[in-house]
Structure 1
């Protein structure tokens, strides 16, 4: 065999490179093209046995739907967008998993966007991504500065759901956890242990979740007739370093502190670094979120469990309801929290 012939045989034929089409599936399955199309698009009038036959044939032939053609034909991309501030936030992992599982179960594709670089990426998202509308709906964990642009887009028909509401305008549908309830449970627990000088390591107070957690703390103090002392509340930034700095300054100012309620687990872990062996005999520590690291600390961290996975799933459900219904339904869903008692408080362990 000469080199030219060998070369021609080594190259794939045009038919081998061609994308599998609905026509190919129809011929292989012995069905009408219209029936195959209806089956692939999930139409109700197709018998389940026929649909399974079409899907099996499509899989065997390596059929890949043309998303762009589908979008032009139906007006939908079957994509959901998720805008994240930073994938370095530990609790985002659980939210993201809930979103990803729900999107997959619905037969959609997930598009991830991040504003981790701050204002530059926020401007690019508003100027370049949003006008192109590559998604049927958008889930947000987003800085407040983007809300006006997102709100305008929602007003023009794009289903938008805010995850972990941080004080955004109420006209956007949202999914959050019961922050006030969680802080109330945590503070009641500390008071039940006989703690009275309960310090708070707070997150930024422009976040609605932080305001709610502080109000829950104050309600528990009122119930126990313990006066609120503003000097026991110190602002931090949701990081371990912030927790260390905050508690070091608190202890230096007031060595009578006998408990710390931190508004997230990272700050609670930072607090425990500073307090050392004083936890839990002299000082009890409670966090908020119940991230995986809470069980890895020594002593293990008592914390308020947020239903993060469920928050992600619920956000997808709200968005899909709006997409399928054609209109954005105004809903603000709040999921319950619970206290997970571990070693950092002392006393009996378990959920409350």
Structure 2
């Protein structure tokens, strides 16, 4: 069977060859009704555009790079799902890459490779937002959007949650539950830590730093073992974790040692991912950031900058929300009824 051509699509749709070409390569030039008719014709006769030829004609591959720190973190899986959905709706493709938390050498090698490839846009959660390769990629005409990080000076566009506010929300919830010995479990003193520390200081208490070394369940297990080895007088009564994976690890380890959550130790995560919450022995209280919407917004931002190179960089910030479940309760053991903040 002969392969369907643009001329075949034009005949079925009742339009010119040029209109079919514009629908494929420059859909914004075609009115929606005609565009839908052409696409229906393409589908009915099985027409598949030649991606390589299209790239030569329009100077684009319709491929967006998405670089995340950790494939094992459900947050990034949800971000990728949102990004892929938005890209598919725009008839673009997502090329997914992984660097690794703290893997600066691997990240540098990948960025130098991506600088040579014909990506139309790059979305990245970098270890280093100041990496010179990001500037090089942008200077070569590829829009760069930083994901889940604040970019000082607005050198690149960014899509993120307000992590400082998220930390404040978590610490305030623990204080509202009556806890005064607070701790933060994470791999760096980031904006989430800063927000929580600010609230703790205002309340006249301190925020203990618990270094997990990494951002996965293993880090939570290690901290959980340390906490279980402390006496009740030494141990904090409320722990805010930098992400849900760390929280899940802490809860698993505390349960293994016979401690009760939240009676012996209240635990809050960050991200509110379904998979990480399911990995906890009990339902996890968490600060939610809308991962799917963040991925969608990042793709839309890249597409906007692809179509208008003169656009100023944007910083899109989502507001986090507290979702209260079983892993936190007040000192008397009662679950707080507020589920959003």
Shared fold, TM over 0.5: yes
Residue of structure 1 equivalent to 2:262: 280
Residue of structure 2 equivalent to 1:261: 240
Residue of structure 2 equivalent to 1:348: 336
Structure 2, unpaired ranges of 5+:
330-334
Select the residue among 267, 279, 289 that pairs with 1:306. 289
Report if the CA contact (8 A) 1:157-1:328 is conserved.
no
1:233 aligns with 2:215: no
> What's the offset of the Cα at 1:152?
1.3
> What's the offset of the Cα at 1:45?
6.2
Q: Larger deviation: 249-258 or 310-319?
A: 249-258
Residue of structure 2 equivalent to 1:171: 155
* TM-score (normalised: structure 2): 0.86
Residue of structure 2 equivalent to 1:184: 168
Report if the CA contact (8 A) 2:248-2:279 is conserved.
no
Matches within 5 A, 1:303-342: 303-342=286-325
Residue of structure 2 equivalent to 1:198: 182
Cα distance in 1 for residues equivalent to 2:120 and 2:17: 27
Report if the CA contact (8 A) 1:83-1:114 is conserved.
yes
Report if the CA contact (8 A) 1:306-1:337 is conserved.
yes
Cα distance in 2 for residues equivalent to 1:244 and 1:29: 61
Question: Tell me, what secondary structure is at the counterpart of 1:112?
Answer: strand
Higher helix share: 1
Residue of structure 2 equivalent to 1:3: none
> How many residue pairs align between the two structures?
327
Aligned-CA RMSD value: 2.6
Cα distance in 1 for residues equivalent to 2:156 and 2:28: 33
Question: Tell me, what secondary structure is at the counterpart of 1:345?
Answer: coil
Select the residue among 21, 43, 50 that pairs with 1:59. 43
Cα distance in 2 for residues equivalent to 1:178 and 1:196: 24
Cα distance in 2 for residues equivalent to 1:197 and 1:216: 16
The one-character-per-residue Cα deviations of 1:144-168 (angstroms, maximum 9, x if unpaired) are: 2882112111123210001111677
Change (3 A) 1:123 1:181: closer
Q: Larger deviation: 165-174 or 175-184?
A: 165-174
Question: Tell me, what secondary structure is at the counterpart of 1:287?
Answer: strand
Cα distance in 2 for residues equivalent to 1:141 and 1:44: 30
Report if the CA contact (8 A) 2:166-2:195 is conserved.
yes
Residue of structure 1 equivalent to 2:332: none
Question: Tell me, what secondary structure is at the counterpart of 2:65?
Answer: strand
Cα distance in 2 for residues equivalent to 1:241 and 1:106: 38
The one-character-per-residue Cα deviations of 1:203-239 (angstroms, maximum 9, x if unpaired) are: 234xxxxx2111111121123222x26xx21211122
The one-character-per-residue Cα deviations of 1:252-284 (angstroms, maximum 9, x if unpaired) are: 355322111111111112221233242112321
Report if the CA contact (8 A) 2:154-2:314 is conserved.
no
Report if the CA contact (8 A) 1:159-1:328 is conserved.
no
Cα distance in 2 for residues equivalent to 1:296 and 1:139: 29
> What's the offset of the Cα at 1:49?
4.8
Cα distance in 2 for residues equivalent to 1:46 and 1:267: 50
Select the residue among 69, 81, 89 that pairs with 1:85. 69
Select the residue among 105, 109, 120 that pairs with 2:93. 109
Cα distance in 1 for residues equivalent to 2:20 and 2:154: 44
Report if the CA contact (8 A) 1:294-1:301 is conserved.
yes
* TM-score (normalised: structure 1): 0.83
Cα distance in 2 for residues equivalent to 1:84 and 1:19: 38
Matches within 5 A, 1:3-22: 16=1, 18-22=2-6
Structure 1, unpaired ranges of 5+:
1-15, 206-210
> What's the offset of the Cα at 1:296?
5.5
Report if the CA contact (8 A) 2:269-2:286 is conserved.
yes
Report if the CA contact (8 A) 1:174-1:331 is conserved.
yes
Whichever of the two has the greater Rg, that structure is 1
The one-character-per-residue Cα deviations of 1:89-131 (angstroms, maximum 9, x if unpaired) are: 2211110111111111222122222335956754553444431
